Amino acid sequence: MPAGTRIGVLTGGGDCPGLNAVLRAVTRKGIAVHGHEIVGFRSGWRGPMDGLTMPLGLEQVEDVLARGGTILGSSRTNPYQEQDGVERIKRTLAEHGVDALIAIGGEDTLGVAERLNQDGVPVVGVPKTIDNDLDATDYTFGFDTAVHIATEAIDRLRTTAESHHRALVVEVMGRHAGWIALHSGLAGGANVILGPEKRFSVDQVCEWVQQRFERQYAPIIVVAEGAVPQDGEEVLLTGETDAFGHVRLGGVGTWLADELARRTGKESRAVVLGHTQRGGTPTAYDRVLATRFGLHAVDAVSEGAFGKMVALRGTDIVRVPLGEATAKLKTVPLSRYAEAEVLFG
């Protein structure tokens, strides 16, 4: 696209460390190299629907590299569930002279981007999810930071668990994929790691816990929020759903801690890390990956490569179809859990 093109950029879905690094890279290269003007849309897809904008110039992105969250704000808005949502987006883009969009988000945000691109809105996607469950990219930024935060929490919890001779269940994020649970559990030396990909046996978990106590050590159990026991007992669900139909999860960590206490007679506590994993300063790895994604995304727009998402393959940034990236979730292979099980108990 020629110099002087106006490019809109938005951040959708859950926030995570590294979003501002993408915005900084898009803005700096978009202006300095391609001569574009960058327009920020606030609050995810709500921004282009309702005309919520802010300028994104060199001044606005000067000191944002190390900041967590997103200076644009975010939301889980789904324009395809809103009255005239798509037409409102098209109208807003026309009114503001925006020629193309860069959408930064996970499966839901990029799923909307794919549909909008098919409906005639030029879009390039940037993958973002701390769960690392987007297909077609080896890693997403935010994941490394979330793993570091969870690992530090496990390290801190181990000392208090040992002091009080109790089992501690650490619940981490991961609705459909257990990447955070697996990586933080391995890095933190957890005695049990449970993910959504494989239903777990509470009796087996109790056996691992008892083995740990028998050696005079306190067990640490890391469980992803989407993990489910195999004996038919479902985790509690709140019944509330978001704009994309996801049911809010209700606390498998607390449920499991209560079960362990009841079945083993040992004192157990649950710690839910929740949104702690989303906040704070991004790691160096996430800053670099997010920056590279932003640089390549604005190049893709300049070259008219719409309907694509920038992705990490090995050490290279490549372009893949948005449809390929959102067709399925990238879950943890069961073989990875099998590798870790030799360390349990």
Among residues 131, 133, 144, 286, the one annotated as catalytic is 131
CA distance 96 to 51: 8
CA distance 170 to 168: 6
CA distance 103 to 119: 15
Inter-residue contact 109 to 44 (CB < 8 Å): yes
Return left, alpha or beta for 232; rule: phi > 0 is left, psi -120 to 50 is alpha, else beta. Answer: left
CA distance 170 to 158: 11
Handedness of CA 24, 287, 190, 343 (dihedral sign): positive
Do the strands 220-224 and 167-172 form a parallel or antiparallel pair, or are they unpaired? parallel
Annotation marks residue 299 as catalytic: no
CA distance 316 to 144: 18
First to last CA, the chain: 58
CA distance 207 to 94: 63
Q: Angle between the 143-164 and 284-302 helix axes, to the nearest 10 degrees? A: 160
Task: Just list the catalytic residues.
Answer: 131
